[in-house]
Each structure stands twice: as C-alpha cells, then as structure tokens.
Structure 1
C-alpha cells in the first residue's frame, strides 16, 4: 500500500456567497489547494438531500443528491438564471455558519426559477439522465412531489391510498403532480451534472474523492416508502423496530437513532440487489466509500418502535460477510473504508478482516489508560488514521477540555509544543504513523476550537453548520501541509511524477531548526 493523505471537508463547509458551500468556483479552488498541499484524497460527508435536523446522515433518499449544493453562478453561465434572480436574497448573515432555515426558503425559490427557465432549452440531456436513473429517480421525484402536496409531513401521515402505494393513487398523483415531479427530477439532473464536472476536475488533478454513506436510511425517505419489503415494517408499513445503540459509559439512555431496521431475509432472497444498486451508484459518485456503523452488518441493536430511549432493545445477527461477497461478485473489487469505531467484538473484527477493508483509528481516543489501539505505534498498515471525525471535537476543542492526565500523555507521547502548535503536532502524529492513509479535518488543519465542531451526536439543532473562510484556505497553509506530507512520505505520487508541485520553500524547515538549536 502506498502511503498517502487527505483532508476531510464537507461541501457545505466550503466558502461561498450564497449561504452554503456548493459545486462552484470555491470547490474547484479547494481541489487546487489539495493539489498544492501534496494531498491525494478529499473526504466529504454524505451528499444526500438533508431533511429535518439538517444531518447528511438522515436523507430523503439513498440515491438522490442535495439540491443545496447546486451552484447558482454555474446556472447563470448556462443561461438558466440571471444575476438578479439570486444575488440579493438572504441566505444567512454569518459567513462561517449555514442558516438552513433561510436556505430552505430562498435557495429553492431560485432553483424553481432555473427550472422554469429550462423549459426553452435543449432537454435531450435531461431525458437521457431520467432514463439512466429511472430505477430510483421516478420514485424519489414522486415522493418529493407528494410530500410537498401534503405540506412536507412524513409519508406515514399521507392519505392511506398513496401511503400504501395503491396503484390507482400512484397514477392519480403522477397525473396531477406531473410538473412538480419534473421539477424534482430536474434538480437531480443539475446536481449530478455539476458534481460529475467537479469530480472529473479532481480526478484529472490527481485527487480522489472519499465519499460516505450511512448504514441506515431515514424512515421519512423515498427508500422506505417505495421498498417497504426491505425493511422491518408491519402490515400497515409502520416500523416494528428501529436502530440505536445501547447504554454505555457515555450515554445512560443509549442512542435512539430511529432509522428502520432492514429486513435482511428479504434482501438476501433478492440477492441483496438494493444494496448492490446503492453501492454501484455510490461508486459513480466517489472513488472510495466509507460505510458508517460498519459493525451493524455483523450484528445490530434494535429497539421497539415508539420507545423514548434505547435502554430496552436487543442484538440481532446481520448479514455479515455474505453481503460484501454479493457486492464483490456484482461490482468486482471495490474500495471501502469500514467505520469500525465503538465496541468491537471478535465477530466484527473477523468480518472486517474477511472483507479486507481498512478500519479506522482516531488519535483523540488514544490517550486514556493503557496501550490503546489508537496510539500511532499500534496502527496496522491497513487502516485510515484520523485526528478526529465529524462527530468529534476539533483537536483544539478536545485539548482544551480533556482531563489533565490525558493531556499530559498526549504532550509526552507526541512531544507537543505551543511553539509548533498543538493541532500541528497531533497531525504530525498520524502523518508519521504506519497507517497507509492519514486524514485530518479541515478544522484541525486550521487549528480551530470548539466553535468549529461539526456535530455533537444525539443532539438536534446547531450541528452541520460550520463553514471555512476564504482567507483561511491559502497558499501558505498549502505549503505547510506539503512540507509535512513530503517529510512523512505521503506525497501525492501523481503530482510528484507530473512535476506539478508547489515551489519548495525552506522557511518552515529553517524556522524549526532554529528553534531546536536555540
């Protein structure tokens, strides 16, 4: 395995003038930044359309993309918008925070104008897109159209005929909502057109995309509504059990996620076709796929539907390696990262090893008592080392809040100094490790504090809002990242061989040598 590295930075966190990061100019410039910094990977969070709570891990569809990421300036260049359609709307006052309430009102208002303006354009490409994606797009677009018809309530609250997908009801709503269905299909066409353009630019410049998919789908989703037999639902299509995590040292009530549990027996009878389709589409979007809550494929925790906490539940056996054998048979060798955090039984470890997928190591978890597997000297080569993930504090937030004993252990182990920078020293710890791939969040690369945390698990509101400033993503930071990446043998081989490197400067080395020899 070749040593490499990358940065975790979600699309929503990119700078932009219109409330949230998009697939526009700043995304292309971020690819340039990664290239200058010698990186090989750009990791992002799920690209799915967010719903109530704004989490990218709770989406209206496992296949559809988030319309918020469609770039208006590109649409203006293509003649679908004029500047006056979008430049003076209120997308939020804080350029470092996403205001989802204002986005919902104003970004969709602009996207409807783009759809109206598209009717005079050549639509052959749009027709081709609809045909190629028919197997998921038709149900998704109908679902979104009906959802808007019923004032955005969950499909569980729709009239029974359409909720239960009676044939006459499906035909009725396809007729009366034809225009609305076309609108939601058109947004997906724009999303994939812009994303594919950005991904091609990244790949052409030696940057691979690591995508992320949650193991479960949301109850209020086109997936559950259109494929009820693949979920553990009763005869009235209400979930019998939902997903969660039992109580532990950190959560007295456990974590109640609320996602419907899969009906693995029915999925197996159909050759895991739904999961194969999901993975096939994911690998069109990404070069590598990280699967969240990987241990849930070996055994999963289910809670009776309607329970207020996850205290009462039970463990059930999952499909284990059979699912991944089916995916491999259908798609060939695939590049997957197994999110194997949390309590790992021997059976889960055996499943991961059978797949050959790399697991994860989190440096923030390393400094408790004992010889932790998250200490860099214990990393296997076949793993991905992180400073932290979207669910962790930033390094500086962690360092300033962790207990004195852990802080002292980290200082001693990594020889941390304020002169170098605490976050920089932590990055050095994973960059120098044996792990074949090292990933730092953009927040940690910028040495940001708790104000930049992306998510606090099991909380609602205030999450997923952090955004970077334009001034922070600059050549000086890229040069610093390049130097560390080169020092630890992780430099992007594509760039090195093509000789498109940042001009090497010695200030970083000279400054540190001067400090050491004082």
Structure 2
C-alpha cells in the first residue's frame, strides 16, 4: 500500500463532544470532520464501532459486524420523524459531561430507541401496501444477510434470558436447535425486527457521515479486534470457527504473555480460532469480515496483528495469562486469501507487543505498514520506536488508546534518565512547550502517516486516558470538551503539520 505523507487524529466516536451522553454520528461527528479539515488533516482514526460489551470495551463487542446503537444520533432520528425532541432532550444522560456513563446509557437509551422503532412501524408511504418500510430497508437486509439474522436472533434471545451470557441459555437455544429457534422467531418477530431496525439506522447514519468526511477529503481509519468476544453472536452462531468443546465452550482462550503493560500478562478470554477449519473454507468468514469492514472504512487497522503469526493460547479456566503457550497462526496464507478475494488491502497492522523475528517477517511479507509508538522509544539506541529508526511504511504515534496520555507519560512514567534523554533527543524547551516538542518529533519522523490522539493535542492529563490494559473498570469513558476544538487549535495543528509536509492543501470546512 502506497501512502502519501500525511497526518491524522485519533478520536473515538464515543469521545466526541455534544450529543446525549456519548458521541454520535450526527452533528457532533460532522463538526469534528470540519475541525479535521480546518486543521489540514487527512485521516480520522476511530476505535471499533461495534456494540460495547464486557467492561464497556469496544474490543469486546457482541458482534464483529454490527454497529453500536449508542452512536445513533437522536437529533437525526427526530429530523426523520421517528422521535420528538421531548422524547430525549430533557433526559439525564449522566452527571459528568467529560465522561461516558455507560450504566445510564444502558438504562435510558433503549426505551428512546424503542419509541423510534414504534414510530417507524406506523409508516405507510404507499396506500394499500402492508409494508411500512422504505426501499433501502430491504436493500440493507439483503446486503447484511450473512450476519444480521443471527445477530438479531442472538440479541432477542439474550434479552429474553435476562441479558445473560449465551452459554447460560436453555440448552435448545444455546445449541441452536432448529425447532427451538423457529419457535422463538415466530414468538418474537417484532423484537428481532427492532434489533434489525437499529442496525438499519446505524447503517444510514454511518454512510451519510462517511460520505460527508469523503467530501471534506478525510479518510476514516477503522479498527477491528483480531478476536471476537466470548459472549457474542459470532461465537454463538459460529462454534465451528473456534476451538470449542461439544457444548460450544472454549477449550483455550486468547490473551498475551507478561509484558510492558501487565506483569501477569493479559487474560482476554476470547475464543481462539480453529485455523485448520478456516483454511479448509478458504478463510470465508475472514473474507466476509474484512469485506464488511472495508465497505465502511477507507483504511482498516487490525488489532493484535502478531496473533496471525503466533498467538498466546491459555487453557480455559486459568486465573491469569501466565500459563499459556505460543501456537502457530495462519500467516500469509490468510492474507493471500484476502487479497485474492478482495484485491489490494488498505490495512494497518498493530504490530505491538512481544515481537519474534517471524512476526517481523510476516509484516514485511504482507507489505502492511506497522505502528511505531514514541512512548516505547527510550529503552536504548536500538529501539525501533525512536523516530530516526522509523521506516517510511509505518504509522507513527505518540501513544495509542492503551497508553497514558503524552502528558501523563512524560510526567509520571519516564524515569529521570529517560526523561533527560527525551529532552536532549528532541531539543525540548519550555518556550516551545515540552508536549508540543514531542509531537513535533512524531510529525517530523520519516513515517508516511502520523496519528496524534486528540487528547495529546489538547495536552490533557491521565484523566483523558482511554484504556489501562489489565484494569477492568474506568476505561473508555473520556469525552472531549466542544469548547476545546477552537479555530486557534486547528490553525496550530495545520501549521505544525505543514512544517513537515503533512497538511492537506485545502482546509476549508
């Protein structure tokens, strides 16, 4: 993949200011696109947009294909006649506008969305027709037929069983007995349709936003986790895809060994793929997944890329990730199959973590750009994360969603020796500003693409950190202040990006 020299900003949808308790796909997102354009940026990187699951993590979604209903813009639903402003505008969506309150959203957002669905059902655009649905409803259903029915069925059964994990459902539903599923569909037809309605509206709003961004010259970099969540429609409907026993329970689960982030490693608990089965099917599920992702994103970041080379397999039931073992992944066989089916792949490989020579070789063979992270740099002169060592074919970051903010890192995580080295390496001064000098170093690097988290442009402290790996609570909550996205900040970002030949020519919003 050939990259022009450019830059972008990492900003999760959930962190957008405005909206009702969480960022949305309507005006809040469009205002941010306008800000990116004024700032001369080319790329908006986001986190996974699937429905959040365990611990509110976008990397533990109940579907590898569905969109998050929380991101639906309520004002757009009102504009389309599906809601009245009084249905949502005066609801308490959380006490702190700087944080997402997922508990409040869970309790209060779905009643509003059900009201929108009831209004959707009342539509009769053509007299005499039984269907209340517009043509694009049927088009969406047709194009989503390989995942939407199972997702809607999963969500409806889950709700009927008190939102418990699918492995706690009655056996006939858990094991997908055809007669039991047929009976459930017949008895809960409207509930299944409600979940389809939410995905239909997400698709409409997302594609409108994507087109708006494209019109401003902004490419969207999406993100998919390598694994699916254990409690997901994918795991329930596709047990053959994974290492499971006769009951559909994982034999081994995913994680990573002890590293920089966690002394006991990270026990993610995701089911592991049965790669021999995937190979037998010519990676059909992966082709569907990547095709879907590339239909909504311009660039695709794949999380935990190293797991395609070798992956850490932990026996189910272990308390930590320490007792896992390395296993061989599909390697280039998978990417050759994807390329054959889909053509050129605009993929960014998240190649962080413990790196074996074989992982580096896989990255080289794939041709995908990897990632370099400034916060990992000051470990010695041979560090691949020191900017002078960056290849052109990579994406440079000061930090990712799993790191502290740049401010928090510099002030509390660097020891004295490393801090002194960083100051000397970048010729940091108080006059320029320590954090601005660090961002200068990322933008000046040889990397074709530089991505700066918005929190780092805002010089926010640890309170703006998105995620602390290994910590189950308190993550994914940070939201930006709308007043911080000023014309002066956009002008500053444009100027620093232009200095290093990264800014777009036109910055009109």
- TM-score greater than 0.5 by the shorter chain: yes
Give yes or no for the alignment of 1:308 onto 2:296: no
Match of 2:477 in 1: 465
Match of 1:396 in 2: 407
1:359 offset after TM fit, Å?
0.5
Give yes or no for the alignment of 1:133 onto 2:133: no
- Gaps (5+ residues) in structure 1? 503-518
Q: Distance in 2 between matches of 1:300 and 1:472?
A: 41
Of residues 325, 331, 335 in structure 1, which corresponds to 2:342? 331
Q: Distance in 2 between matches of 1:251 and 1:93?
A: 32
Pairwise mapping of residues 158-237 of structure 1 onto structure 2 (< 5 A)? 158-237=169-248
Match of 2:82 in 1: 80
- Structure 1 residues 148-174: Cα deviation after superposition (integer angstroms, max 9, x where no partner): 000000000000001000111110111
1:500 offset after TM fit, Å?
4.6
Q: Distance in 2 between matches of 1:266 and 1:76?
A: 46
Pairwise mapping of residues 391-430 of structure 1 onto structure 2 (< 5 A)? 391-401=402-412, 402-430=414-442
Match of 2:72 in 1: 70
**Counterpart secondary structure, 2:334:** helix
Match of 1:52 in 2: 54
CA, structure 1 residues 333+446, in 2 after alignment: closer, same or farther (shift >3 Å)? same
CA, structure 1 residues 152+40, in 2 after alignment: closer, same or farther (shift >3 Å)? same
Q: Distance in 2 between matches of 1:165 and 1:466?
A: 39
Of residues 117, 120, 144 in structure 2, which corresponds to 1:118? 120
- Structure 1 residues 319-345: Cα deviation after superposition (integer angstroms, max 9, x where no partner): 000000000000000100000011211
**Counterpart secondary structure, 2:54:** coil
Match of 1:381 in 2: 392
1:249 offset after TM fit, Å?
5.9
**Counterpart secondary structure, 1:274:** helix
- Structure 1 residues 123-180: Cα deviation after superposition (integer angstroms, max 9, x where no partner): 1322221122111000000000000000000000000001000111110111111111
Q: Distance in 2 between matches of 1:130 and 1:247?
A: 44
Q: Distance in 2 between matches of 1:476 and 1:394?
A: 22
Q: Distance in 1 between matches of 2:17 and 2:299?
A: 24
Of residues 448, 452, 460 in structure 2, which corresponds to 1:448? 460
**Counterpart secondary structure, 1:22:** coil
Q: Distance in 2 between matches of 1:40 and 1:232?
A: 40
User: Number of matched residues?
Assistant: 497
Q: Distance in 1 between matches of 2:458 and 2:491?
A: 13
1:236 offset after TM fit, Å?
1.1
- Structure 1 residues 387-446: Cα deviation after superposition (integer angstroms, max 9, x where no partner): 100000000000110211111111111111232222211110011010000000000010
Q: Distance in 1 between matches of 2:334 and 2:214?
A: 29
Q: Distance in 1 between matches of 2:72 and 2:13?
A: 11
Q: CA RMSD in A?
A: 1.1
Q: Distance in 2 between matches of 1:250 and 1:462?
A: 16
Q: Distance in 2 between matches of 1:197 and 1:364?
A: 36
- Structure 1 residues 301-357: Cα deviation after superposition (integer angstroms, max 9, x where no partner): 101111111111111100000000000000000100000011211111111111100
**Counterpart secondary structure, 1:135:** coil
**Counterpart secondary structure, 1:467:** coil
Match of 2:130 in 1: none
Match of 2:5 in 1: 3
8 Å CA contact 2:403–2:467 kept in 1: the answer is yes
1:52 offset after TM fit, Å?
2.5
Match of 1:253 in 2: 264
**Counterpart secondary structure, 1:153:** coil
Give yes or no for the alignment of 1:485 onto 2:497: yes
**Counterpart secondary structure, 1:134:** coil
CA, structure 1 residues 250+491, in 2 after alignment: closer, same or farther (shift >3 Å)? closer
Question: TM-score, normalization: structure 2?
Answer: 0.96
- Structure 1 residues 51-101: Cα deviation after superposition (integer angstroms, max 9, x where no partner): 131000000000000000000000111100001100111110111100000
Q: Distance in 2 between matches of 1:161 and 1:289?
A: 37
Of residues 327, 332, 336 in structure 2, which corresponds to 1:321? 332
1:250 offset after TM fit, Å?
5.1
Match of 1:433 in 2: 445
Give yes or no for the alignment of 1:351 onto 2:362: yes
Q: Distance in 1 between matches of 2:507 and 2:88?
A: 37
Give yes or no for the alignment of 1:278 onto 2:289: yes
8 Å CA contact 2:40–2:507 kept in 1: the answer is no
Q: Distance in 2 between matches of 1:16 and 1:107?
A: 16
**Counterpart secondary structure, 2:313:** strand
Match of 1:476 in 2: 488
- Gaps (5+ residues) in structure 2? 126-132
Q: Distance in 2 between matches of 1:247 and 1:475?
A: 44
Q: Distance in 1 between matches of 2:290 and 2:19?
A: 33
